[in-house]
Chain A
Amino acid sequence: QVQLVQSGAEVKKPGASVKVSCQASGYTFTTYSISWVRQAPGQGLEWMGWISGYNGDTNYAQKLQGRVTMTTDTSTRTAYMELRSLRSDDTAVYYCARLNQLEIGYWGQGTLVTVSS
């Protein structure tokens, strides 16, 4: 079965960077893209971007351009999301998800990133 397992919670100071990992199993990693989605406390879902598992192509949400980088390591079937210059309003649960136009979407368990001085 498809599983996405994320790294653990992080606490960061404003201005720092955070890198969250997402290890996939149960399917051919290079066949699908991985999206990253975040959810601030009590808020809705915000799409951050996606990365192709096949060739590493990316498409980032305009709002985060210049602050976010998504990468993959196909040898370990792992996707990474790095967010730089953290601010307090980046405090959120960050999810990786395998979202596809036609197929069932699968989500990781989420990673809480807290930005606080």
Chain B
Amino acid sequence: SYELAQPLSVSVALGQTARITCGGNNIGTHNVHWFQQKPGQAPVVVIYRDRNRPSGIPERFSGSNSGNTATLTISRAQAGDEADYFCQVWDSNTVVFGGGTKLTVL
């Protein structure tokens, strides 16, 4: 079965740029979605189909996907960005999630 690998945690200084990776075999051939989840809340999409941002999501959030790695980039990180982030793809008619990355804003 297809697997997605994310770092357990990423730390970023306030105002700096955070990059969260999602690794998978030829993930560049999949459409990758990124979800943000804050404690006690349901996940919310921040990037869909590799690089598209839903309305209401700040331009500071961007995505890329190529080869074996997809990346969520958060520019000018704010305290409110502190959350868990999950990548997700469809593979062989099933939904696959990465293990999640806890973003800490210092």
Contacts and interface: CB of A to CB of B under 8 A. Distances in A.
Q: Do A and B come from one complex?
A: yes
Interface of A: 35, 37, 44-47, 50, 59, 61, 95, 97, 99, 101-110
Residue among A99, A104, A110 facing the most chain B CB atoms (10 A cut-off): A104
Interface string B25-38: 00000010101000
Taking chain B's interface residues, is the majority helix, strand, or loop, or is none over half, making it mixed? Answer: strand
Given A47-B96, A101-B90, 20 more contacts: A35-B95, A44-B86, A44-B100, A45-B43, A45-B86, A45-B97, A45-B100, A46-B97, A59-B94, A61-B94, A95-B43, A97-B43, A99-B90, A99-B95, A104-B45, A105-B43, A105-B48, A105-B88, A107-B42, A107-B43
15 contacts: A37-B97, A44-B86, A44-B98, A47-B94, A47-B95, A61-B94, A95-B43, A99-B33, A99-B88, A99-B90, A102-B31, A105-B45, A106-B45, A107-B44, A110-B42
Interface residues of B, number: 21
